[in-house]
Amino acid sequence: MRNLISAVFNPLRQWLDNLDIHNPDVALFLYRAIPAQCPFARDIKLFGHTLLHIPPLCKFNPLYEELMGLRFRAMCYLVDECGMTI
Protein backbone atom coordinates (compact mmCIF):
# COMPACT_ATOMS: atom_id res chain seq x y z
CA MET A 1 0.00 0.00 0.00
CA ARG A 2 2.83 2.39 0.85
CA ASN A 3 4.46 1.78 -2.54
CA LEU A 4 1.19 2.58 -4.28
CA ILE A 5 0.91 5.88 -2.42
CA SER A 6 4.52 6.74 -3.26
CA ALA A 7 3.98 5.87 -6.92
CA VAL A 8 0.97 8.16 -7.06
CA PHE A 9 2.44 11.15 -5.21
CA ASN A 10 6.12 11.10 -6.29
CA PRO A 11 5.50 12.67 -9.72
CA LEU A 12 3.40 15.40 -8.12
CA ARG A 13 6.04 15.98 -5.43
CA GLN A 14 8.75 16.32 -8.07
CA TRP A 15 6.61 18.69 -10.13
CA LEU A 16 5.96 20.91 -7.10
CA ASP A 17 9.64 20.88 -6.12
CA ASN A 18 10.75 21.85 -9.64
CA LEU A 19 8.13 24.56 -10.15
CA ASP A 20 9.87 27.89 -10.74
CA ILE A 21 8.12 31.15 -10.06
CA HIS A 22 8.62 33.97 -12.55
CA ASN A 23 5.31 35.84 -12.32
CA PRO A 24 4.42 38.20 -9.46
CA ASP A 25 0.69 37.47 -9.76
CA VAL A 26 1.26 33.71 -9.51
CA ALA A 27 3.68 34.20 -6.62
CA LEU A 28 1.20 36.35 -4.73
CA PHE A 29 -1.61 33.85 -5.36
CA LEU A 30 0.51 30.94 -4.07
CA TYR A 31 1.67 32.94 -1.05
CA ARG A 32 -1.92 33.78 -0.11
CA ALA A 33 -3.47 30.40 -1.01
CA ILE A 34 -1.05 28.17 0.92
CA PRO A 35 -1.44 28.75 4.67
CA ALA A 36 1.71 29.46 6.69
CA GLN A 37 0.61 27.10 9.42
CA CYS A 38 -1.76 24.22 9.60
CA PRO A 39 -5.32 25.53 9.66
CA PHE A 40 -6.67 22.41 11.33
CA ALA A 41 -5.07 22.70 14.77
CA ARG A 42 -7.78 23.78 17.18
CA ASP A 43 -8.52 24.05 20.86
CA ILE A 44 -12.11 23.36 21.82
CA LYS A 45 -12.92 25.59 24.78
CA LEU A 46 -15.91 25.94 27.03
CA PHE A 47 -16.10 28.85 29.45
CA GLY A 48 -12.38 29.52 29.02
CA HIS A 49 -11.29 25.94 29.75
CA THR A 50 -9.74 23.77 27.06
CA LEU A 51 -11.83 20.63 26.65
CA LEU A 52 -10.10 19.15 23.64
CA HIS A 53 -7.02 19.84 21.57
CA ILE A 54 -7.07 18.76 17.92
CA PRO A 55 -3.45 18.50 16.74
CA PRO A 56 -2.35 19.80 13.35
CA LEU A 57 -3.02 17.17 10.72
CA CYS A 58 -0.95 18.76 7.96
CA LYS A 59 1.95 16.40 8.60
CA PHE A 60 -0.33 13.62 7.34
CA ASN A 61 -0.70 15.42 4.00
CA PRO A 62 1.66 13.64 1.59
CA LEU A 63 2.43 16.95 -0.15
CA TYR A 64 2.93 19.06 2.99
CA GLU A 65 6.69 19.61 2.66
CA GLU A 66 6.45 20.40 -1.04
CA LEU A 67 3.65 22.92 -0.50
CA MET A 68 5.60 24.65 2.29
CA GLY A 69 8.62 24.84 -0.01
CA LEU A 70 6.50 26.28 -2.82
CA ARG A 71 5.05 28.91 -0.50
CA PHE A 72 8.54 29.81 0.70
CA ARG A 73 9.83 30.15 -2.88
CA ALA A 74 6.84 32.36 -3.75
CA MET A 75 7.51 34.54 -0.70
CA CYS A 76 11.23 34.83 -1.55
CA TYR A 77 10.39 35.78 -5.14
CA LEU A 78 8.03 38.51 -3.97
CA VAL A 79 10.59 39.92 -1.54
CA ASP A 80 13.80 39.51 -3.56
CA GLU A 81 12.62 40.07 -7.14
CA CYS A 82 9.55 42.31 -6.70
CA GLY A 83 10.71 44.29 -3.67
CA MET A 84 7.53 43.63 -1.70
CA THR A 85 7.46 43.71 2.07
CA ILE A 86 5.50 40.89 3.58
Per-residue model confidence (pLDDT) at position 2: 67
Per-residue model confidence (pLDDT) at position 79: 96
Contact criterion met (CB below 8 Å) for 30 and 36: no
Contact criterion met (CB below 8 Å) for 38 and 73: no
List, run by run, the mean pLDDT of 10-residue segments along the chain (86 residues).
77 94 96 85 86 79 90 96 88
Check residue 57 and report its DSSP letter.
Answer: -
Q: Distance (Å, rounded) from C-alpha 38 to C-alpha 57?
A: 7
pTM listed for this prediction:
0.77
H or E element, residue 46: strand 42-46
- Domain borders along the chain are 1-81
Q: Residue type for 7, please?
A: A
Per-residue model confidence (pLDDT) at position 80: 93
What are the start-end ranges of the H helices in the chain?
2-18, 24-33, 64-80
> Which residues make beta-bridge pairs with 45?
50
Query: What's the chain's length in residues?
Result: 86
